[in-house]
C-alpha cells in the first residue's frame, strides 16, 4: 500500500508565509490600539485608522519591515530546497486534506490572493484523484464512465473525501443506480459567486470532454455546496453554457438559501467592537474570516452582493436569484427536533429549517420548492445529512 503524506514540503513554505502574514497583521493591530489609546480622550471618542507617527510609528514600521525581509529570505531559501527534499509527491492523507480544507474555509481568500501554496485550486476529482478534462485522460481515469453524471459539491471547510462518513458515501451508493459520481474540490473561503462562475466553466469543459454521450447531469450540494451550485447555474445561463441543457436535477442538502444565524452573529461582534476606539482594532480579528463565510450571512451567490461595498457592513443585502428553469430542484433539511409537534421547528444546529427549504417571509425571495420536492429529517444534525440512510433513499427517489 502506498504510504500517504500528512504534510508535504510545499506546505512548509505555505505555513511559513502564513506565519509572516500573521506577524505583520498582529503588529498593525497592536500599533492601532497603541495609537488610539494614546490620543483618545474618552471610550466612545473618534478613533484613527492612520498609523502611529514619530518614534512610535518608526518602531512599528521597523518591526514590519524586518519581518518582511526575514520572511522573504526564508521563502526564497525554501523555494530552492523544497524540490530537492520532495522530488516526487506522495499521496495526500485524509488528515492533511481535512486540515487544508478547514484552513481554506477560514482564510481561503487570503491564501488565494497571496498565492500561498496552501490555497486549494478548484478541480473535479474521482476516487480522490484530480481529473484532467480531456477525452483521453477522462477515459483512462474513469474506464467505466457512463452517460449519467452525478456531481457532489461539499460545504464550508470540508473537502471531497468527507462525503464518506461513517462508512457511507452518497456518491458511491448512487453509482449502483447507474450514475458516475464526480466530486468537486474547491477553496470554500473564496466568494461563492467566484467559485460559482469557476464551476460553471469547469462543467462546460467537462461535458465537452466526456468520453461517452451525456444523457443526464445531476448535482447534489451539501450546505455551502448548494449555494455554489445555484450560483454556477446562474453564471452558466448568463454565459450561454451548453451544460445546463443536460442538467436534470439539482438537490440541496441543508443549504442555507437565506443565510445562517452564526455568521450574522459574527457580524454583530464587528459592530460591538467598533463602538469604542479602545477595542476597534480588535474588530480586525473578527474580520479575519473569509469571504466565503461572510457570504453565508444572507446566502449571497452573485457578485453584486459584495463588489460595491464592505462585506462586513451590518446590512441586509442579497440579490434574489431564481432556481434554474426546467430543472427538478429539491431541498432536504434536517431538524434537531424529534417530531413535527412544534409550530416553528428548529434547524440542524447550523442552518434554520426554513432557510434550508428556501422559505422566506417575503414572497419574492422564496424559492418555492414544490411540496413533493421538499423533505425534512427529524432528530438529525447538519452533518448527519451526509450519511443518513433515509437521506440516501430520498436521493434515489428524486434521481429516479
pLDDT tens-digit readout, 297-355:
889 999 999 887 777 666 656 799 999 999 999 999 999 998 775 557 788 988 999 99
Which stretches within 133-223 are classed as H helix? 135-141, 170-175, 192-209
**Residue 63 domain boundaries:** 9-91
**What is the C-alpha separation between 91 and 2, in angstroms, rounded?**
8
Together in a domain, 75 and 165 = no
SS3 content of the chain, % helix, strand, coil (to 5): 50, 15, 40
Residue 37 in any domain: the answer is: yes
Together in a domain, 215 and 330 = yes
Together in a domain, 226 and 325 = yes
Predicted pLDDT of residue 217: 98
Q: Is the pLDDT of residue 396 over 90?
A: yes
pLDDT tens digits, residue range 361-386?
Answer: 888 889 999 999 999 999 999 999 99
Residue 355 in any domain: the answer is: yes
pLDDT tens digits, residue range 171-225?
Answer: 999 999 999 999 999 999 999 999 999 999 999 999 999 999 999 999 999 999 9
pLDDT tens digits, residue range 18-36?
Answer: 766 666 554 554 445 444 4
Residue 364 in any domain: the answer is: yes
**Distance, first Cα to last Cα, the chain:** 37
Together in a domain, 68 and 138 = no
**What is the C-alpha separation between 272 and 280, in angstroms, rounded?**
9
Residue 3 in any domain: the answer is: no
pLDDT tens digits, residue range 122-142?
Answer: 999 999 999 999 999 999 999
Of 120, 130, 117, 121, the C-alpha closest to 10 is 117
Of 126, 169, 122, the C-alpha closest to 146 is 126
pLDDT tens digits, residue range 138-181?
Answer: 999 999 999 999 999 999 999 999 999 999 999 999 999 999 99
Cell 452564526 belongs to residue: 262
Together in a domain, 141 and 68 = no
Residue 17 in any domain: the answer is: yes
Using CA atoms, how far residue 318 sits from 257, 259, 295, 394, in Å, is: 11, 10, 9, 30
Together in a domain, 191 and 145 = yes
Residue 36 in any domain: the answer is: yes
| Mean local confidence (pLDDT), 92-109 | 87
**What is the C-alpha separation between 117 and 200, in angstroms, rounded?**
24
Q: Is the pLDDT of residue 5 over 70?
A: no
Provide the number of structural domains found in the chain. Answer: 2
pLDDT tens digits, residue range 78-89?
Answer: 455 555 445 455
**What is the C-alpha separation between 39 and 168, in angstroms, rounded?**
59
Burial bucket for residue 374 (CB in 10 Å: 0-12, 13-18, 19+): middle
Q: Which three three-digit cell numbers place residue 276?
A: 469604542
Together in a domain, 73 and 181 = no
Residue 257: band (very low, low, confident or very high) from pLDDT cuts 50, 70, 90: very high
Residue 360 CB neighbour total at 10 angstroms: 17
Residue 303 in any domain: the answer is: no
**What is the C-alpha separation between 167 and 173, in angstroms, rounded?**
11
What is the number of H-type helices and E-type strands within the chain?
A: 12, 10
Q: Which three three-digit cell numbers place residue 329?
A: 430542484
Together in a domain, 325 and 381 = yes
Which CATH number goes with the domain that contains 153? Answer: 3.40.50.1820
Residue 79 in any domain: the answer is: yes
Predicted pLDDT of residue 361: 87
Contacts of 234 (CB under 8 A, 6+ apart): 196, 301, 302, 321, 324
CA angle 392, 157, 180 (to 5 degrees): 40
Together in a domain, 85 and 146 = no
Together in a domain, 76 and 187 = no
Contacts of 280 (CB under 8 A, 6+ apart): 32, 36, 47, 273, 274
**What is the C-alpha separation between 375 and 114, in angstroms, rounded?**
42
Give the residue from 91, 115, 137 where a domain finishes.
91
- Residue 254 gets the label, from left (phi > 0), alpha (psi -120 to 50) or beta, of left
Of 313, 287, 285, the C-alpha closest to 300 is 313
- What global pTM score does this model have? 0.81
Of 264, 194, 263, the C-alpha closest to 228 is 194
Lowest mean pLDDT among 44-48, 101-105, 242-246: 44-48
| Mean local confidence (pLDDT), 270-279 | 53
- State phi, psi for 185 to the nearest 5 degrees: -120, 125
Together in a domain, 83 and 145 = no
Together in a domain, 76 and 163 = no
Give the residue from 70, 91, 112 where a domain finishes.
91
Predicted pLDDT of residue 35: 45
Give the residue from 73, 91, 109 where a domain finishes.
91
Amino acid at each position: 500500500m502506498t504510504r500517504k503524506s500528512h504534510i508535504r514540503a510545499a506546505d512548509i513554505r505555505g505555513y511559513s508565509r502564513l506565519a509572516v502574514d500573521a506577524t505583520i497583521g498582529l503588529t498593525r493591530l497592536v500599533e492601532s490600539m497603541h495609537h488610539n489609546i494614546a490620543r483618545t480622550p474618552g471610550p466612545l471618542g473618534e478613533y484613527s485608522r492612520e498609523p502611529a507617527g514619530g518614534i512610535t510609528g518608526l518602531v512599528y514600521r521597523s518591526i514590519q519591515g524586518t519581518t518582511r525581509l526575514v520572511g522573504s529570505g526564508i521563502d526564497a531559501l525554501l523555494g530552492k530546497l523544497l524540490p530537492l527534499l520532495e522530488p516526487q509527491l506522495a499521496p495526500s492523507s485524509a488528515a492533511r486534506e481535512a486540515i487544508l480544507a478547514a484552513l481554506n474555509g477560514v482564510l481561503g481568500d487570503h491564501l488565494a490572493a497571496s498565492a500561498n501554496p496552501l490555497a486549494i485550486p478548484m478541480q473535479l476529482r474521482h476516487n480522490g484523484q484530480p481529473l484532467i478534462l480531456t477525452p483521453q485522460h477522462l477515459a483512462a481515469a474513469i474506464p467505466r464512465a457512463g452517460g449519467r453524471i452525478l456531481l457532489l459539491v461539499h460545504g464550508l471547510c470540508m473537502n471531497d473525501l468527507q462525503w464518506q462518513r461513517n462508512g457511507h458515501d452518497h456518491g458511491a451508493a448512487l453509482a449502483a443506480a447507474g450514475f458516475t459520481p464526480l466530486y468537486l474540490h474547491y477553496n470554500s473561503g473564496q466568494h461563492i459567486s467566484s467559485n460559482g462562475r469557476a464551476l460553471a466553466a469547469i462543467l462546460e469543459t467537462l461535458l465537452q470532454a466526456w468520453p461517452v454521450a451525456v444523457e443526464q447531469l445531476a448535482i447534489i450540494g451539501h450546505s455551502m455546496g448548494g449555494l455554489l451550485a445555484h450560483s454556477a447555474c446562474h453564471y452558466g445561463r448568463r454565459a450561454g453554457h451548453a451544460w445546463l441543457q443536460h442538467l436534470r436535477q439539482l438537490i440541496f442538502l441543508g443549504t442555507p438559501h437565506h443565510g445562517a444565524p452564526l455568521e450574522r452573529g459574527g457580524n454583530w461582534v464587528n459592530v460591538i467592537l467598533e463602538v469604542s476606539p479602545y477595542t476597534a482594532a480588535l474588530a480586525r480579528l473578527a474580520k479575519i474570516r473569509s469571504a466565503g463565510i461572510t457570504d453565508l450571512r444572507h446566502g449571497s451567490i452573485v457578485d453584486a452582493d459584495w463588489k460595491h461595498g464592505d462585506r462586513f457592513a451590518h446590512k441586509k443585502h442579497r440579490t434574489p436569484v431564481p432556481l434554474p428553469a426546467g430543472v427538478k430542484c429539491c431541498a432536504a433539511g434536517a431538524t434537531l427536533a424529534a417530531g413535527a409537534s412544534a409550530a416553528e421547528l428548529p434547524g440542524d444546529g447550523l442552518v434554520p429549517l426554513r432557510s434550508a427549504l428556501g422559505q422566506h417571509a417575503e414572497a419574492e425571495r422564496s424559492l418555492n420548492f414544490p411540496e413533493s420536492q421538499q423533505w425534512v429529517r427529524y432528530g438529525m444534525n447538519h452533518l448527519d445529512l451526509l450519511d443518513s440512510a433515509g437521506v440516501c433513499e430520498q436521493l434515489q427517489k428524486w434521481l429516479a
